[in-house]
Structure 1
């Protein structure tokens, strides 16, 4: 993001209205008071929208994102360095091994297996 604080997006009435509704829901659910002058407001809204159980807060944040796209244009996607044609696969937030994702199996290690905390042969 930019090093300077850009509050131009908060000059739009529709966006400020949606942000204030989000702030109320965040205050009710997480007991955190967000300030409109906070330089990290956009990041905090995204954080709380990602961890909330409230569908209302998720919907409002989606509407804010749509308004921001209208105002600033689409976001630029940043990708990690990966070989061309190969997509990094994720499972529950963890990267999946590329060899296993292609159906290859790793050699099985011999040793004791555990079942309910006890070794089984």
Structure 2
């Protein structure tokens, strides 16, 4: 019970709650995700969305929250954002390039006699 009280102690500060509510609005607008103030994982979710956002305002707000938390509780462990793979685009649309497709391309190059079937002007063409 005492750990829950210390975990939510930071939400008793008016200035921090004000910043968190501003972050929640920005997260709702950008990611269409609703965060609850009563969620025990609220700090981790804020860090997650702050790491993924493209909004400088959101990053600035999260930085202010972190500074206020450091002043209140002292320094804590760094929460690093999840590593993301670069997204490739083709004609403005994101294209997924997973490991299976990469392996499949390499295997067709190494095996003689097998090729990739392509459609060209209505005809099936085998590419070696």
Bigger helix share: 2
Does residue 57 of structure 1 match 2:76? no
How far residue 118 of structure 1 moved from its aligned partner, in angstroms, is 6.1
Between structure 1 and structure 2, the one with the greater Rg is 2
Does residue 26 of structure 1 match 2:34? no
Structure 1: distance between partners of 2:59 and 2:77: 22
Structure 2: distance between partners of 1:20 and 1:76: 23
Q: CA RMSD in A?
A: 2.6
Does residue 36 of structure 1 match 2:42? no
Counterpart in the other structure of 2:3: 4
Unpaired stretches in structure 1, ≥5 consecutive residues? 78-91, 94-116
Aligned length: 84
How far residue 75 of structure 1 moved from its aligned partner, in angstroms, is 1.6
Structure 1: distance between partners of 2:109 and 2:39: 53
Bigger strand share: 2
How far residue 76 of structure 1 moved from its aligned partner, in angstroms, is 4.6
Unpaired stretches in structure 2, ≥5 consecutive residues? 85-107, 111-128
Counterpart in the other structure of 1:112: none
Structure 2: distance between partners of 1:12 and 1:68: 10
Counterpart in the other structure of 2:74: 73
How far residue 40 of structure 1 moved from its aligned partner, in angstroms, is 0.3
Counterpart in the other structure of 1:17: 18
